[in-house]
A and B are shown apart, each in its own frame.
Chain A
Amino acid sequence: MTEVRSNATRIWLLHAAVIVLLLAGNFLLPEYHRGMFSRALVLATYAMGYNLLFGYTGLLSLGHAMFFAAGMYGAGLPVYHLGWDVPLVFATGIAAAGLLSLAVGVLALRTTGVAFMIVTMMFAQIFFLATLYFTTWTRGEEGLVLQPTTRAIEFAGNTISLSDPSTRYLVALTLFAIVLLVSLRLVKSSFGRTLVAIRENEERVRMLGYNVFATKLLAVVFSGLVCGAAGAAYGLLFGYVGSGFASSQYSILALLYVLLGGAATTLGPLVGTLFMFYVIDYTSGLTSAYLLLVGVVLIILILFFPKGLLGTIREKWLPWLP
């Protein structure tokens, strides 16, 4: 019992410390790295959304870019075409991703395993093609540039501009911190326990009286909402909405970030995302064939950290890591 308590304290302290350190980053990081971190924080949020479904619930989706992009377009289109306010379009972005995940979930969850991977991939492909097809509104691959003036929030007589680097960093961090703490609450809750149990043995969970389909659907929608929030934030903070974000590459990235950081760890997505950002940044400064180097680094990592960085650390040294 006391052990349980002290673990809970340790866990909260660790997460609080990570958030405080990141906050300090806004004031300490050189401009270039602060920009990198801003992007990484939003993509880490996306990866956290993915992790809820893949890491905790054990559902491997290969189509999560559609939820990220639904959030991005759900926010970006009304800003660009209708001039709606930032807070409102942030909400429409999240709503778009929520509706899409509900629809995709209802259909895709009729399948399991490899079929689920393929079905989610197909849906994402349809979404990607749709962003190209409706080029009148989306301008396809070229995308939409959201002007800084459209990305400002009027608040109590002040104008908060999302194109200001410090604001951008702080907004990205706020979103990241909220999602991190909510995920932590979630995975430590009864619902989180049920998700993990579904990952381990679905049939057994059913025979304990759970509606497995409904629970998985809830997980898909929750994951979709988080990914949509990340996508909306990405578009609004960095001022660009393009079909590239709906491509399969972005679905794979989420998987990669989570695998590298450690599936089913709350902080793994952040670790994986930052790691990838800096490996690519460093190697691309060395050679134009940097993807080759990235590949080598990934192989070495998987050899020594088969469960991802934090997953392996948890297994070997820190079993209390959530």
Chain B
Amino acid sequence: MAAVIPLIQTRALTRQFGGLKAVDNVDFNLESGKIHAIIGPNGAGKTTFVSLLSGRLLPDSGTILFDGQDITTMPAHKRVQVGIAYTFQITSVFANLSVYDNVALPVQRRLLQRGRVDPGALHQSVFEVLDRVGMADHAHSKAGSLSYGHQRLLEVAMGLALQPRLLILDEPTQGLSDGEIDTFIELVREIARDATVLLIEHNMQVVMALADRITVMNNGKILAEGTPSEIRANAAVQEAYLGGGDV
């Protein structure tokens, strides 16, 4: 098989907080067009790791390649422009703005890259995105007045609106009801048709339903990586994370 360039490649990526190595010498490859899940206990370094990919944080050492290009020191806003979108673990929609404006911001950013922002095109794209997540009816509500589940969905919609090549979802189902989770699984499957998805997720049901590949992190290091069935069978993972039983 011809060697395909991974979409993301990290080499010896390290980030410390004080003495704590939140991300410790991580080599990681992300294959294009897949849904890749990262799991691991609280404090394993998952959010820190994807923050390094998205540029929210800069690494202490190591390199990050995106589609073969070195983006280690590229500022966050430029990474978004080359196609890396990040949705926050802690919901951070613009609570005082309308749902419409929340989605218009990423859409207009994308349109701006191709030149002028045409109001007609903006309007149409915003509603396309809202329709995709089933929130068109809420377009004129204030984002802060939405239910928690809808705010999480809006957060994803904002990532989608950028039409990224890589969409990073940081615990998107946290705090959602079972019904909402089912809708969400469908949505991610659909997103994955156009984009590579990197999914941090605690809910193993969601992970098993969606992931093509799973990486397990613990103490800032990669503990194991493989297909869902390989991970399920891995004894070290059972011990460190799955803890025997409740999966």
The interface of chain A, by Cβ under 8 A from chain B, is 3, 190, 193-194, 196-197, 200-201, 203-212
Question: Are B105 and A207 in contact, with the CB atoms below 8 A?
Answer: no
Q: Nearest chain A CB to B118's CB is how many angstroms away? A: 10
Is the Cβ of A190 less than 8 Å from the Cβ of B96?
no
With both chains docked as a complex, state the minimum distance between the C-beta of B163 and any C-beta of chain A, in angstroms: 11
Determine which of B75, B80, B96 lies in contact with A208 in the assembled complex, contact meaning CB atoms within 8 Å. Answer: B80
- Shortest Cβ gap from B212 to chain A (Å): 26
Type the 1/0 row for B124-138, where 1 means its CB is closer than 8 Å to any CB of A.
000000000000000
CB of A265 to closest CB in B, whole Å: 14
A-B contact pairs, 17 of them (CB 8 A): A190-B104, A190-B108, A196-B97, A197-B105, A200-B94, A200-B97, A201-B94, A204-B92, A204-B94, A206-B76, A207-B56, A207-B76, A207-B80, A208-B105, A208-B106, A209-B106, A210-B109
What residues make up the interface of B, taking CB atoms closer than 8 Å to A?
Answer: 54, 56, 75-77, 80-81, 86, 88, 92-97, 101, 104-106, 108-110, 112, 117, 122, 140, 158, 162
Minimum-distance CB pairs A-B, first 4: A209-B80, A190-B108, A209-B109, A190-B117
CB distance from B58 to the nearest CB of A (A): 13
| Count of A-B residue pairs with CB < 8 Å | 58
Inter-chain contact B105/A194, CB cutoff 8 Å: yes
A209 touching B77, Cβ below 8 Å: yes
Starting from the known contacts A201-B92, A211-B75, 9 additional A-B residue pairs (CB-CB under 8 Å) come to: A197-B94, A200-B95, A207-B80, A207-B86, A208-B106, A208-B158, A208-B162, A210-B77, A210-B109
Given that A203-B92, A207-B86, A209-B109 are contacting pairs, would A190 and B76 also be in contact in the complex, using a CB cutoff of 8 Å? no
| Bound-complex Cα distance A207 to B106 (A) | 9
B158's nearest neighbour on chain A, judged by CB, is A208
Write out the residue numbers on chain A whose beta carbons fall within 8 Å of the beta carbon of B140: 3
Rounded to whole angstroms, the CA-CA distance of A55 and B92 in the bound complex is: 21
Which chain B residues lie closer than 8 Å to A196 at the CB level? 97, 101
Measured between alpha carbons, how far is A212 from B56 in the docked complex, in Å?
A: 13
A204–B106 alpha-carbon span in the complex (Å): 10
B94 — which chain A residues lie within 8 A by C-beta? 197, 200-201, 204
| Cα–Cα, bound, A200→B117 (Å) | 22
Q: Give the CA-CA distance A201 to B117 in the complex, in Å.
A: 22
Q: Kindly state the separation between the CA atoms of A210 and B81 in the bound complex, as whole angstroms.
A: 9
Complex Cα spacing A203 to B96, Å: 15
**Residues in B neighbouring A201, C-beta threshold 8 A:** 92, 94
Q: Which residue of B lies closest to A200 (CB)?
A: B94
Tell which of A193, A194, A206 has the most Cβ of chain B within 10 Å. A193
Which residue on chain A has the smallest CB distance to residue B109? Answer: A209
